[in-house]
Amino acid sequence: MRETPSAICVIGCGYVGLVAAACFAEMGHHVHCVDNDRARIDLLRSGGIPIFEHGLPELFSRHRNAITFTVDTEEGAEASDVVFIAVGTPQDRSGIADMSYVEAAISGLSRTLTKYKIIVVKSTVPVRTSARIRRLLERHRVDPACFDIASNPEFLREGSAVMDFLHPDRIIVGAESERAAQILARVYDPLVSGWYYEQPGALSGPRTAACPPPLLQTSPESAEIIKHASNSFLALKISFINAVSNLAEAVGADIEEIAKGMGMDSRIGSRFLRAGLGYGGSCFPKDVAAFQEDSAQSGVAFRLLDDIRNINESQRTVFINKVWEALWTPRGKRLAVLGLAYKGGTDDIRESPAIEVVHRLLSDGASIMAYDPAAMGKARVALPVSDKMLYADNLYEAATGADAALILTDWEEFKSIDLERLALIMRNPIVIDGRNLYSAATMVAHGFTYISMGRSDASPPHFRKPSPALPARQVLSETI
Task: Decide if residue 37 touches ligand NAD (CB under 6 A).
Answer: yes
Start-to-end C-alpha separation, the chain:
74
Given the residues 9, 23, 33, 283, select the one marked as catalytic.
Answer: 283
The 121-140 site mask, x for binding ligand NAD (CB under 6 A), equals: --xx----------------
Among residues 26, 148, 154, 294, which is the contact residue for ligand NAD, using CB under 6 A? 154
Residues 192-231 contacting ligand UGA, CB under 6 A:
231
| Identified binder of ligand NAD from the candidate list 26, 35, 372, 410, rule CB under 6 A | 35
Residue 75 is a binding residue for ligand NAD (CB under 6 A)? no
DSSP 36-71: S-HHHHHHHHTT--SS--TTHHHHHHHTGGGEEEES
Stretch that binds ligand NAD, among 15-23, 110-118, 316-324, 438-446 (CB under 6 A): 15-23
Per CB under 6 A, does 150 bind ligand UGA? no
Q: List the one residue from 89, 245, 449, 452 that touches ligand NAD (CB under 6 A).
A: 89
CA distance 53 to 20: 12
Binding mask 231-250 for ligand UGA (x = CB under 6 A): x--x---x------------
Q: How far is CA 197 from CA 107, 190, 396, in A?
A: 37, 8, 42
- For strands 215-218 and 171-175, give the pairing: parallel
Question: Is residue 283 annotated as part of the catalytic site, yes or no?
Answer: yes
Closest contact distance (angstroms) between CB of 161 and ligand UGA is 8
Residue of closest CB approach to ligand UGA: 283
Chosen residue from 12, 28, 76, 281 binding ligand UGA by CB under 6 A = 281
Size of the site for ligand NAD (CB under 6 A): 27
Q: How far is the CB of 352 from ligand UGA (least distance, A)?
A: 7
Residues 89-128 that bind ligand UGA (CB under 6 A): 124
Least Cβ distance, residue 327 to ligand NAD (angstroms): 35
When asked if residue 53 is in the footprint of ligand UGA (CB under 6 A), the reply is no
Pick from 16, 59, 149, 451 the residue near ligand NAD by CB under 6 A.
16
| Least Å from the CB of residue 331 to ligand UGA | 28
Restricted to residues 421-450, the positions that interact with ligand NAD (CB under 6 A) are: none
Identity (one letter) of the amino acid at 275? A
Indicate whether 101 belongs to the interface with ligand NAD (CB under 6 A).
Answer: yes
Please, are residues 419 and 436 in contact by the beta-carbon 8 Å criterion? no
273 binds, among ligand UGA, ligand NAD, none (CB under 5 to 8 A by kind): ligand UGA
The site partner of 438 among ligand UGA, ligand NAD, none (C-beta below 5 to 8 Å per kind) is: none
87 binds, among ligand NAD, ligand UGA, none (CB under 5 to 8 A by kind): ligand NAD
238 touches, from ligand NAD, ligand UGA, none (C-beta below 5 to 8 Å by class): ligand UGA
340 binds ligand NAD (CB under 6 A): no
Return residues touching ligand UGA (CB under 6 A): 124, 154-158, 231, 234, 238, 272-274, 276, 278-281, 283-284, 342-343
Q: Which residues would be at the binding site for ligand NAD (CB under 6 A)?
A: 11-17, 34-37, 40, 86-89, 101, 104-105, 108, 123-124, 154, 156, 158, 282-283
Q: Which residues are known catalytic residues?
A: 283
